[in-house]
Amino acid sequence: MSELPGVRRLATVTIPAPDLRPGAFLRLAAGEARGFWARGDRWVAHRGVLADLRPEADDATDRYQEVARAARALVRDPVLPSGAARAARVRFYGGFSFRRDDTGDGPWTAFPAARFHLPAFELEGDRDGDAWLRARALTSPEGASDTLKRLRRAAEGLRAELAAYPETVQGDVGRRPTVRGVGRATDRPTWEEAVRTSLAAIRRGEVSKVVLARTLDVRLQEPVDPVGVASELWEANRGSYLFLFEPEPGRAVLGAAPETVATLRDGVFHATAVAGSIRRGNGPREQAELAAKLLASEKDRTEQRIALDDMVARLETVAHRIRTDPQPHVLTLSRIQHLETEIRASVPAGTDILDLLRLLHPTPAVCGLPRDEALRFLAAEEPFQRGWYAGPVGWFDGDGNGVFAPALRCAVTSDGVWRLFAGAGIVEGSDPGLEWEETAMKLTPVLEALRANGVVLESAVPSAT
C-alpha cells in the first residue's frame, strides 16, 4: 500500500448547507482531485485528498484486503467534537480495474489496480435542497481542539463562497463554446469478426458467454471539463448510477451504469442482474412493444439468466436468505431497455462490501462465463486495455457499507483524448450486426453529454483499437 500520513486521528466537522449544489462545489475545485456519485435524486461530491489508498503492484497482493486494511487504520480512534456521541460517517471513493494485474498504462495512468481517496471536503444532498458540507483533517491528539475550530471556519467559508457562485445553466448548449474533435472508432468488420470468433468458442463449449467491448476515441482541440459532462449524464440518465472520479487534474473516469455490483447497508445486500438490450423507442406505445419483445426473447433471457445464476451461486457461499424476483422485469432507461432481476440477501457480521466485491467481480454481465475462460478469451480478442472499464467503482465507509457499480457507459479522459467504451454480451444466437448496433446505443450517453458541452465531431474514422 502506498505511504499513508503519519498522523492517524481523523477530525470531521459537518455543517448544514441547504440549497448548495454539486456543480459549483466541483467547478471551484478545478485543479484538485474531485469526484461525484449519484443515483436518482441523491448525490455526493468530494474534493481534495487526505489519503490516497493504492495497493502495491504485486500479483500476490489482495487488493481488496489491502484497501480495507488501510482504510481501517485511518478511521480508527477518530476525534469527536464536543457533545458528539459518535464519529461522522467516513467514506472512501474510487474503484478497481477490471483485471487484477492491470498495468495502468495509456489513458489509465492515474488508475492503478485499485485507488481510493479520503477527501478533504464532501458535499452531500438531494434534489429537495437538503445538503450537508463536511470538512476533514488528520490531526494529533494534542492539536484536536484547534483542528476542529479550523475545520469549522473552513467549512463555513466554503459554504459562503459556494452560495455566492452562480450555477452554470445545464443543457444550455448555445452558451457553450464550440470544441471541435475527431473520433476514431473500432473498425466494424474487425469487431464483427471478433463476435463470430466468440460464437465459435461458444459452440465449441469453451465459454457460454463473453462480453466483448469496443472503443471510440475522441481527440479534442481544447479541453472539456469532466464535471460538465458528468452533470449532463446525470440529467439525462436519472435511472442510472452516475460516477465521476478525477484522482489527478485532467485524468478522469465517468459514466452512467445501469446496474450495481453490490450494495451493502447494515448487513443487507442488494444488487441487480442486468443483461439483454433493446432500444427504448419513440413514444410510450413503441416503448411497450419493444419491452414485450425483449421479455419474449429467448436469447436475451438466456443471457440475463446466466448473469443471475452465477451471482446467486457466488453469494450462497457467504450469504443467507437470498431472495430474487421470480421473473425478470424490463428496466427502461433514457435510450435503452434491459432485462433486470433484483437480488437481496443477508450477510453475516464481519463481511463487508469489499469482501463481496472480491467474490462477485467480474460478473457474467461484464465478463462472461466461465469466468477464467472468458477472461482469457477477452485478453486474446480485445486489442486494448480495459483499465477501469467494467471494473467496480463507488464508495465504502468505515463500517464496511458501500455502493459499487460496474464502470459501464463510460469514458476515460487524459491528455485531451476521451476514450469511450461499450460492450455487448455474446451468447448463442447473437447476431454480429445487431451487437454492433447495441454497442452504438451504449456509446450514445457519453457522446451526447460531450455534445451538450459544445463538442462537435468533425469526422469518425475506423481504428483497430
Identify whether 303 is a catalytic site residue.
no
Q: Are strands 251-257 and 262-265 parallel, antiparallel or unpaired?
A: unpaired
Cis check: omega of the bond before 55, within 30 degrees of 0: no
For 233-259, what is the mean pLDDT? 94
Q: Read off the pTM.
A: 0.93
Grid cell, residue 317, equals 457461499
Identify whether 259 is a catalytic site residue.
yes
With vertex at residue 396, the alpha carbon angle to CA 391 and CA 397, rounded to the nearest 5 degrees, is 170
Q: What is the pLDDT of residue 464?
A: 38
Q: What is the pLDDT of residue 465?
A: 42
The candidate with the shortest Cα–Cα distance to 413, out of 169, 124, 216, is: 216
Q: Residue 4: is its pLDDT beyond 60?
A: no
- The lowest-confidence range among 207-216, 294-303, 424-433 is 294-303
Of the residues 124, 259, 303, 340, only one is catalytic, namely 259
For 5-21, what is the mean pLDDT? 83
**Gap between the terminal Cα atoms of the chain:** 32
- The lowest-confidence range among 108-112, 216-220, 277-281 is 277-281
**Domains recognised in the chain with CATH numbers:** 9-163 (no CATH), 178-463 (3.60.120.10)
Of the residues 209, 340, 382, 442, only one is catalytic, namely 209
* 268 vs 83 pLDDT, higher one: 268
Q: At what angle do helices 371-381 and 188-203 cross, to 10 degrees?
A: 150
H-type alpha helices, 76-210: 144-163, 188-203
* HSE-CB for 363 with a 13 A CA cutoff: 34
- The lowest-confidence range among 91-100, 280-289, 391-400, 453-462 is 453-462
CA distance 252 to 275: 27
Cell 498504462 -> residue: 105
Q: Residue 7: is its pLDDT beyond 80?
A: no
Q: Residue 202: is its pLDDT beyond 70?
A: yes
Q: Is the dihedral of CA 318, 322, 328, 329 positive or negative?
A: negative
Grid cell, residue 327, equals 421473473
- pLDDT tens-digit profile of 221-232? 999 999 999 999
Q: What is the pLDDT of residue 83?
A: 66
Res. 59 pLDDT band, cuts 50 70 90: low
Res. 86 pLDDT band, cuts 50 70 90: confident
Q: Please name the residues in contact with 252: beta carbons below 8 A apart, sequence gap of 6 or more.
A: 226, 244, 245, 246, 412, 413
Give the chain's mean pLDDT. 90
Q: What is the pLDDT of residue 5?
A: 47
- pLDDT tens-digit profile of 346-378? 999 999 999 999 999 999 999 999 999 999 999
